[in-house]
Amino acid sequence: MYVARHATDNDLLLNEVQAAELLGISVRTLQSWRIKRAGPAFVRVGRAIRYRRRDLLAWIDANTVK
């Protein structure tokens, strides 16, 4: 059974394109950060890379300069 998820669901898994769009960066930058272990946390699902929306939002908060 498919359960539709709302765009604000914090447990929603986003692909690289969606995650990069949310962060306002390129997919290549996101990939580079992942290789360097410098960016937001990610989930490996088989060969696919996914980002939890809540991890992206937490990463944004943690990197906000006040």
What one-character-per-residue DSSP string does the chain give?
------TT-TT-EE-HHHHHHHHTS-HHHHHHHHHHT-S---EEETTEEEEEHHHHHHHHHHT---
pLDDT digit string (tens) for the chain, length 66 residues: 444 455 568 889 999 999 999 999 999 999 999 999 999 999 999 999 999 999 999 999 999 998
* Residue range of the domain that includes 54: 13-62
Q: Tell me how many domains the chain contains.
A: 1
Q: What is the pTM of this model?
A: 0.82
Evaluate whether residue 50 is within a structural domain.
yes
Q: Which of 64, 53, 66, 63 is closest to 22 using CA atoms?
A: 53
Evaluate whether residue 27 is within a structural domain.
yes
